[in-house]
Amino acid sequence: MKSVGSTPSGKPRLTTSAMIASIAAEGQRTRPAPFGHALVELARSREDVLGMTADLGKYTDLHIFAQAFPDRYYQMGMAEQLLFGAASGLAAEGFMPFATTYAVFASRRAYDFIHQTIAEEDRNVKIACALPGLTSGYGPSHQAAEDLALFRAMPNMTVIDPCDAHEIEQIVPAIAAHRGPVYMRLLRGQVPLVLDGYNYRFELGKAALLRDGADILIISSGIMTMRALEAAQSLQDDRVNAAVLHVPTIKPLDTETILREAGKPGRLVVVAENHTVIGGLGEAVAALLMRAGVHPAFRQIGLPDEFLAAGALPTLHDRYGVSTAEVTRQIKEWLR
């Protein structure tokens, strides 16, 4: 985003700066197009890998693959129903298509096509979708606040919400090694680099305790793990020790690790996600705990059940409580 002039309060006035605003903070370490490069790497050793998109190759980092393997790239036009139907057909013939679009178009526009042609027939299609949750200031048309709820509800579907570039690079070969349909949220462009500092390795279906702490357990996925780690750092200054459990695989959920960590007594459990508080990781964890008879104090951080505003991402993340400052503030309030 860029600032234009200033508001009467003296704060810089932020603009939406198009839908491709980067989620990386200024000065943050990043890596360009991790998905595109990882897919090229994968395709070198697997000839069945294909790339497909619906007029969003450049905006899902698939153009990197298209340049490396032009004859294995299918531009299907701005037609998401066709994109997923055709991906199913190619999978039926033995290929492994990676199909990309924005998360809103896969989850909302093409849901039935993914349900019937891919999931019901258990076809080996990998769906990678940009602009997950609130990562665009473009308004509800481009804000995929419901995608995890929708794809969690779909039988056969594996659902993944990665945190950073380091993780995306590992997810690509991991989901290729898994036979079956996968929906993964995609961070594209200059993608933050966070987890390499935590000796982290992605494992499909596994949660990872990134840091331990006695006062609070933050269970998080996607970019909210980055926020949780930053919040934990800042809470430390107030002598609050926060553990952070990263859960990149939303389905199937790593119930064992979540129950083990949430079952440790005396900690407030907070689930943080870049998704509506309805039907995502928070409610999945809540249901798991209830079914298992584990009853810690429990709070949710997530997007409200409303159509979100258009605007600059930092403004919106603050307004809807998912910025690092807001995550920290809410936790402090709950601990008072």
Partner 1 sequence: MGTPTLANAPTLAQRARNIRRNALLMGEVQGQGYIAQALDIADVLAVAYFHAMRFRAEDPAWEGRDRFLLSNGHYAIALYAALIEAGIIPEAELETYGFDESRLPMSGMASYTPGMEMSGGSLGLGLGIAVGMALGLKRKRSASRIFTLFSDGELDEGSKWEAIMSAAHHQLDNLIAIIDVNNQQADGPSKQMLGFEPLVDKLEAFGWFVRRIDGNDLDAVVGAFDAAMAHPEPKPRMIVADTLMGKGVPFLEQREKNHFIRVEPHEWQLALSALNVGEQP
Alpha helices (runs of H) in 118-264, residue ranges in sequence order: 147-152, 165-177, 223-236, 255-262
Residue from the set 35, 73, 74, 138 that interacts with partner 1 by CB under 8 A: 74
Answer for which of 35, 59, 84, 183 binds partner 1 (CB under 8 A) is 84
Q: Which residue in the set 38, 49, 86, 106 belongs to the binding site for partner 1 (CB under 8 A)?
A: 86
**Cβ proximity to partner 1, 128 vs 218, nearer residue:** 128
**Does residue number 85 form part of the binding site for partner 1 (CB under 8 A)?**
yes
Cβ closer to partner 1: 39 or 96? 96
Of residues 15, 16, 28, 81, which one binds partner 1 by CB under 8 A?
81
46 contributes a contact to partner 1 by CB under 8 A:
no
Q: How many CB atoms lie within 10 A of CB 56?
A: 22
In contact, 102 and 58? CB cutoff 8 Å: no
Size of the site for partner 1 (CB under 8 A): 26
User: In 285-315, which positions are buried (b, 16+ CB within 10 angstroms) versus exposed (e)?
Assistant: beebbeeeebebebbbbbbeeeebeebbbbb
Q: Which is nearer to partner 1, 86 or 129 (CB)?
A: 86
Site for partner 1 contains 70 (CB under 8 A): no
Closer of 86 and 168 to partner 1 (Cβ): 86
Taking CB under 8 A as the rule, does residue 96 contact partner 1?
Answer: no
Instruction: Round to whole Å and give the CA distance between 108 and 271.
Output: 25
Q: Please check whether residue 228 is in contact with residue 252, taking contact to mean a CB–CB distance below 8 angstroms.
A: no
**Which among 10, 8, 57 is positioned nearest to 36, based on CA atoms?**
57
Span of 76-84, 126-134, 147-155, 243-251 interacting with partner 1 by CB under 8 A:
76-84
Q: Do residues 240 and 284 make contact, with C-beta atoms less than 8 angstroms apart?
A: no
DSSP for 112-126, written as a single string: HHIIIIIITTT---E
113 binds partner 1 (CB under 8 A): yes
Q: For partner 1, which residue of 79, 174, 278, 309 counts as binding (CB under 8 A)?
A: 79
Q: Give the shortest CB-271-to-partner 1 separation in angstroms.
A: 34
Smallest separation, CB 252 to partner 1 (Å):
20
Q: How far is the CB of 95 from partner 1 (least distance, A)?
A: 6
Q: Are 164 and 23 in contact (CB under 8 A)?
A: no
Nearer to partner 1, 78 or 290 (CB): 78
Please select the residue that binds partner 1; options are 11, 12, 112, 290, rule is CB under 8 A: 112
Instruction: Verify binding: residue 82, partner 1, rule CB under 8 A.
Output: yes
Cα–Cα distance for residue pair 334/336, rounded to 1 Å: 6
Q: Which is nearer to partner 1, 85 or 133 (CB)?
A: 85
Question: Residues near 277 by Cβ (< 8 Å), separated by ≥ 6?
Answer: 283, 300, 302, 303, 304, 305
Beta strand 158-160 with 249-251 is: antiparallel
Letters for 116-145 (x = contact with partner 1 by CB under 8 A, - = none) are xx--xxx-----------------------
Least distance to partner 1, CB of residue 152, Å: 21
Length of the chain (residues): 336
Q: Where are the alpha helices (DSSP H) in 58-206?
A: 63-68, 80-92, 103-104, 111-113, 147-152, 165-177
Q: Which stretch binds partner 1 (CB under 8 A): 108-116, 234-242, 298-306, 316-324?
A: 108-116
Report the SS3 class of residue 245: strand
Contact positions vs partner 1 (CB under 8 A): 74, 76-77, 79, 81-82, 84-95, 97, 112-113, 116-117, 120-122
